[in-house]
Each structure stands twice: as structure tokens, then as C-alpha cells.
Amino acid sequence: MATDLQPAKFRSAESKISQRERDQAIMDEDVLLSVRNLSTHFFSREGIMRAVDGVSFDIKRGEILGIAGESGCGKSVTAQSILRITPNAGRIVDGEILLHHDDKIVDLAKLDRKGRAIRDIRGAAISMVFQEPMTSFSMAYTIGNQIIEVIRLHQNVDQKEARSRAIAILGRVGMPKPEQNIDAYPFALSGGMRQRAMIAMALSCHPSLLIADEPTTAVDVTIQAQILELMKSLQQEMNMALIVITHDMAVISELCDRVMIMYLGKDVENAPAGELFRNPKHPYTVGLLHSVPQLGGGKSQEIVGISGTVPSAYVRPAGCSFHPRCPAFMPGVCDMTEPPHITVGPNHSVRCHLYV
């Protein structure tokens, strides 16, 4: 174990890797979105909260990427940063969000968050399904009016054609009696029907990328499996990329091709889903997997939680942010220097001093 490496050496190696990966991502036409060293901070009287702190990942066309971690790890802020919809106190302070759009590469991080360019991309090229449908719909208008508005905003069609398309997409997401329910108000629908309506609105303009933020949290367990199966089938049918944000590793195993594990604003492990479940490297990933009951494990299986809680993003531990909770903590190493990205296998990287 090399304990005499200096932070500058780590930064130099990481910088070279990031530049090489960035160049490769730009040249690879299969990559739809390439996020490079993204940092989104929130500024308030309490101080600076580094909600997202140097995150990098790619998602290919037609791929499903899962972003997992405990609450407060920066998953949702990562998604909000991509769409440039963070609250006013939040600001992208570093990094790139490179989108292949209309045969060119657009850096979303450089666009005016209130400008025409990003508004043309939201809903058309990239859509999002939010955690709580009741906060996504206005209660003053029918779901049909709101879906039709999105369609007419991004497509050159009249009111009649937009209504026809809205009914069609409601039918595709499994909404019962779409010709009637298009005129229903959100509060008149069940939780599962509202979730389907929200997915329909997100898909109404056939986006290249759909971001689903905790898509099954707001529905009961009997509906969760239906929603997951629906999203997977629609993703395959429309050949779109899908980012699924969740704290539920069972959802990740069910849906995803690749997984990025986040902890306190950082991407601590990134791997193909099968590889991550078979061979997790980061102690935090191991802890997440051990805290999930295994199917067929019986009553005697031991569920082991991760000790402690996620620290405040305002006051981060020195070195590796996970070291106060880590069972593999090495004094003088983990609490002194921040680990770089280390490649541990094909398309498998981890931020951990165990692999330096």
C-alpha cells in the first residue's frame, strides 16, 4: 500500500484520465451524454454545500444507467444539474455536461438556465419523471391540457393533433380509458394513474434521454413492479437512454445496464450492473448491498446496515468522505488524502485507497 503519494500526484493522474475519457466520449457517437467533473454547489448563509463534487459518467444511446446511494448523496441534484433546474441557490461551478444533440455537441453547463436553448432541450431531447407526481402537475388544469401544452411547445402541430398524440401516449403507458382520462384533473387520479400520466408527459416528445428520479417511491408496492416493467418496455420500444435515480438496489438490479454509486456528492464506483453486484469494490457499495434482503435468503439471513449517517455536505470529512463510516479505514491515509479514480476492471472504476 503506497502511503507516501501526495495529493498533487493524485490530481495530476485524475486530470489526465478525465481529459482522455472526455476526448474519447466526444469521438464516440454511441455516447449520448458525457458528464465530466461536474460540481454543483449551493450558496447560503450557512456556508457552501457541495451537493455534487466532481462527478463524471457517460451514458450511451439506448442504455440504462442507475445512480444509487443514500439520501443526501447528490443523486437528484446531479439530474437537476443536467436539466439546469437546480433551485436558485444552486450553481454549477465546474465541469461539462456534453450532449450529442442535432448532430453537434452542446455543453449544457454553459447554457443560460433560463434561455431558449436549454428550454428547447428540456422536454424534447431530455425529459424527467419526478419523484412526486402531485408536485409535477398543476391541480388547476387537466392532465390532457398539460400534456398537450408540452407537445405544442416542442412540435409544430395544432390543438387537435396534439390532443390525438396525448391520447395515444396515455394509451401507450397503460392509462385506463385514455380518451376519457385525458380530461381528468390530477387530484382525481390514483397514485399509479398519476405516475403513468407523468411518464406520458415526459415521453410525449420522444426524448433521447429520460431521467426517472425515484420513480416508484410515490406508489404502493403493488404498483411498483408495473411501473418498472412499463419504463423498461418503453425504453426498449423507443430506444432511448434512461437514467434511474434510486436508493433501492433492487430497482437497480431489475432495470439497469450500468451503475454509478454516489456518496456525499462524489461518484465512488462505476461499473456494469452485473459486475457491480458480483464484485463490488468500494466499501460503501458493499455496505449498500449487504443492507438489502436477498431473495430466498430465509428468516435467518443477516441484514447489516452501514454504521453512522451521511455527514453534512457543509462540513465534509478530510480525505475520503466515507472514512468515518468505513470498516476498511486506514489511519493516516483515508483521513488525509482524497482517493483518485482507479480502474479495477473493464469499465469498472472506484475511488478508494484500497486499490491505489
Q: Supply the pLDDT for residue 48.
A: 93
Q: What is the DSSP letter of 286?
A: H
Residue with grid cell 458493499, as numbered in its chain:
286
First to last CA, the chain: 7
Q: What is the pLDDT of residues 265-298, one digit of tens each?
A: 999 999 999 999 999 999 999 999 987 766 555 5
Handedness of CA 208, 214, 219, 220 (dihedral sign): positive
Q: Are strands 348-351 and 258-263 parallel, antiparallel or unpaired?
A: unpaired
Half-sphere exposure of 56 (CA within 13 A, CB side): 20
pLDDT score of 178 more than 90: yes
The three cell numbers of residue 343 are 480502474
Q: Supply the pLDDT for residue 163.
A: 96
pLDDT score of 217 more than 70: yes
Q: What angle do CA 111, 113, 117 make, to 5 degrees?
A: 55
Q: Supply the pLDDT for residue 12.
A: 42
- Average pLDDT value for residue range 203-221: 85
Nearest to 182 by CA among 166, 198, 194: 166
Domain boundaries, the chain: 7-61+70-115+256-294+301-355
pLDDT score of 6 more than 90: no
Share of the chain above pLDDT 90, in %: 63
The three cell numbers of residue 198 are 407523468
Q: Are strands 341-345 and 348-351 parallel, antiparallel or unpaired?
A: antiparallel
Q: How confident is the model at residue 49 (pLDDT cuts 50, 70, 90)?
A: very high
| Strand residues in the chain grouped as ranges (E) | 31-44, 47-60, 64-68, 90-101, 104-107, 126-129, 209-213, 241-246, 258-263, 266-272, 341-345, 348-351
| DSSP result, 94-148 | EEEEEEEETTEEEEGGGS-TTSHHHHHHBTTTEEEE-S-HHHHS-TTS-HHHHHH
Least confident of 152-156, 208-212, 257-261: 152-156
Give the whole-angstrom CA distance, residue 59 versus residue 321.
26
Give the whole-angstrom CA distance, residue 290 versus residue 268.
17
CATH T-level topology, domain 7-61+70-115+256-294+301-355: Rossmann fold (3.40.50)
pLDDT score of 234 more than 50: yes
pLDDT score of 15 more than 50: no
- Average pLDDT value for residue range 76-96: 95
